[in-house]
Structure 1
C-alpha cells in the first residue's frame, strides 16, 4: 500500500470535510492517507476555528530563531511515498524535505498559492526565497489557475501541477440552508432586533487586511441612504475589540463573534449581500451557497479565491478600493435594484455549485495518483 501524508501547522475546521473525503478516495485505490499537524497557535485559539482529526497524528512544534517553526514530523514523513507540505517560508521541516526531494530520497509536493498574495514587497527577499524553493519539489497542488500560471512561469512543468480549485463544504452548507425554516429566520431576526429588509453580512476573520474601519465607514454612508440597513458581522480575530467598539454607538451593526455551522448559515440567510471590502478568500464560496453576491474592492492583496468573483455577474468589485463612498454607492445601487440583485444572487449560487469540496477532493486525489504513478 502506498502511503501519503499531508503535513501542516494548524488543523482548520473548514478543511475537515476535504481531508475526510480525500482519505476515502485514496483508500479506494489502495493509498493510505494521513495528516500530521500541531496544536493551534494563539490567534487560531481566539478564532475558535480549529479541529482535531481522529485518524491524524498530532506532533509538537518548536519555535526557532528567525521566526521559523519546526514540526516534529520528519520520521513519519520519511515513511511515506509522497509528502505534501504547505508552501510557507517559515516551516523549517519543508527545507529538509525539499532536500530529500532534490536527491531523490522522497517525493515531495507543495500545497499553496505559489506566491504570497498579501505581500507588500513582491520582489523582496521573502518572495525571492519562495520563488527559489517553488521548483524544488516533485509536484504542485495549486489553489487556482493563477497558481498554475505563476509556477509555470518559474519553469516548473505544467504536467506536474494539479489545480484543485480551493473550496469549502458547500454541499454541507446547502444541507444546512435547506433545514432552515421561515419561522426560524423570523426568530433570528427578532433575536437580533432587525426590523428592516436590507441586510448585509460580513463573515470572516477580523484582522487588518479585512479593512473593518473602511467597512463601517461605508456602512454609515449606506445607512444614511437606506434607513433600515443592518450590518451583521460574524467572526473572530485580533480586531474583534475594534469592531465591538465601532458598533457600540451603532445599534444597527450586530457584532456576534465567531459563528459556525447552522448558526453561521442562518445569519447569512438574513442578508442580501456579502460585504467584504478587504481581503477576499474562501468566504465567497460560502456566500455563494447562501445566494449572496460578494461586494468587494480592487484591493491589491486578495487571496486567490478573488478569481471566483466575476464583476457585475455574481458580485461587484469596486475599482477605487480606497473610496468608502464608491463602495457604499455600489451596495446602495444593488439594494435599490431588486431585479439586478436577484440576477446576481442566482449567479452567486451557480458559482458555489461548481466549487465544491467534492470536486476539489476529486481533483486533488487524481493529482496524488498521477504523482505516485498508480
Structure 2
C-alpha cells in the first residue's frame, strides 16, 4: 500500500475533521495516511486551539524549537524516506524541509508543498525570502491555498500543470447547524447572560490575541462606535500572547466581553447572537466562520491578510476600510 506523509508543526482543532475525511478518502483507494506533528510551543499553546490526532494515523514526535522559535526540528526523516509522497508546509522554519527539498529537486523523493505561496508577513529576512522564492519549483507538486496563490506561483516560474488550487477551508457545517438550531428564545437567553439587550447591535471578534490581529486597534475603534451607538456591545473570543494586556485595556468596560477561547457549540452560540464579524487585523480562515454564521466580515486593507481574504466580496459579504481607526 502506498503511503502519504503530511508534516505539520502542530494540529489545529479545525483541521481534525479534514484529516478524518482525508483518511477515509485515501483508504478507499488503498493509500495509507500518516500525519507527523509535535506539541505547540508556549506562545501557540496559550491560544488553546490545538489537539492530538488518533494514533492510527497521527505520528506525534518531539518538536525542538531553536533560535527563539524560528526553526523547528522534528525527528521525522526516516518516516519521510519511507513515504511515497511527503507533503510539507512551505515555511522555512521546518529544518527537515531543507533536507527534503534537494532530494525532491534531484528526483530522489516525491515532495509536495502545501501553502499560501507569497509571504505577506512583516519583518521578512532577505536571505530567507530569497531561498523561499528559489525553492518554489523544487517540489513535485503544489497544493495551493487559493486560486490567487496559484496565479502567484505561475508568475514565479511554477508550471500550472503541477499546481492544484484547493480553496483552503475548514468544515463549517457544525457552525451552520448550531446557529440554525438556536431558537429566538435561546438567543435572548444567551444575550441576557452577557447583560446584552435583545435589540442591541453586537460585533464579534474571533481569533488569537496576537499583534497581527490588531486587537488594540479594534478596542479603540469600538469606543468610537459606542459613542455613536450607545447600546453597542463587543464580544472578544480567543486567547494568545496578548491576552493579558488586552484584558487590562478593557477592564471596567462592561460592554466589551472578553470570553476567552471558545470552540464548537459555545463559539457558535456567540456567533448566533452577533450582527457582524469585526477583524481589523490579519484575516485567515476565520472568514469562513463569519460566513457560516451568516455574518458580514468587516476588515481593513492590509498586505498581511491570508489568501482566504479572496473569499470576501465587498458590499456582498463584507466591507473593507482604510487601516486607520476613524475609517474602520
Q: TM-score, normalised by structure 1?
A: 0.84
For 1:284, the equivalent position in structure 2 comes to 287
| 3-state SS of 2:133 partner | helix
C-alpha deviation, 1:255, in angstroms: 0.5
| 3-state SS of 1:310 partner | coil
Q: Which has the higher contact order (CA 8 A, sep 6+)?
A: 1
C-alpha deviation, 1:19, in angstroms: 0.9
C-alpha deviation, 1:120, in angstroms: 4.2
Distance 1:243 1:264 in 2: 20
C-alpha deviation, 1:272, in angstroms: 0.7
| 3-state SS of 2:281 partner | coil
For 1:185, the equivalent position in structure 2 comes to 187
C-alpha deviation, 1:65, in angstroms: 5.1
| 3-state SS of 2:177 partner | helix
Asked whether 1:22 is paired with 2:22, we answer yes
For 1:168, the equivalent position in structure 2 comes to 170
After TM superposition, the structure 1 stretch with the greater mean CA deviation from structure 2, 66-75 or 164-173, is 66-75
Paired residue for 1:224, among 213, 223, 227? 227
For 1:83, the equivalent position in structure 2 comes to 86
| 3-state SS of 1:131 partner | helix
User: Can you list the C-alpha shifts for 1:238-282, whole angstroms capped at 9, x where unaligned?
Assistant: 111122112113110000111101000000111110000111111
Distance 1:136 1:171 in 2: 36
For 2:38, the equivalent position in structure 1 comes to 38
For 1:297, the equivalent position in structure 2 comes to 300
User: Can you list the C-alpha shifts for 1:326-368, whole angstroms capped at 9, x where unaligned?
Assistant: 11xxxxxxxxxxxxxxxxxxxxxxxxxxxxxxxxxxxxxxxxx
| 3-state SS of 1:292 partner | coil
| 3-state SS of 1:206 partner | coil
User: Can you list the C-alpha shifts for 1:144-196, whole angstroms capped at 9, x where unaligned?
Assistant: 11211111122111111111111111112212223323232222111111124
> 2:301·2:323 contact (CA, 8 Å) conserved in 1?
yes
For 1:115, the equivalent position in structure 2 comes to 118
Q: How many residues align?
A: 324
User: Can you list the C-alpha shifts for 1:201-224, whole angstroms capped at 9, x where unaligned?
Assistant: 000011111111111111011111
| 3-state SS of 1:220 partner | helix
> 2:146·2:308 contact (CA, 8 Å) conserved in 1?
yes
Distance 1:111 1:77 in 2: 16
Distance 2:223 2:65 in 1: 43
Distance 2:106 2:253 in 1: 61
| 3-state SS of 1:78 partner | helix
For 1:10, the equivalent position in structure 2 comes to 10
For residues 1-374 of structure 1, the aligned pairs below 5 Å read: 1-54=1-54, 55=56, 56-64=58-66, 67-121=70-124, 124-195=126-197, 196-318=199-321, 320-322=322-324, 324-327=325-328
> 1:117·1:304 contact (CA, 8 Å) conserved in 2?
no
Quick check: which one's helix share is greater? 1
> 1:74·1:93 contact (CA, 8 Å) conserved in 2?
yes
Gaps of 5+ in 2: none
> 2:179·2:271 contact (CA, 8 Å) conserved in 1?
no
Distance 2:253 2:63 in 1: 42
C-alpha deviation, 1:64, in angstroms: 4.1
Q: TM-score, normalised by structure 2?
A: 0.95
Gaps of 5+ in 1: 328-374
| 3-state SS of 2:25 partner | helix
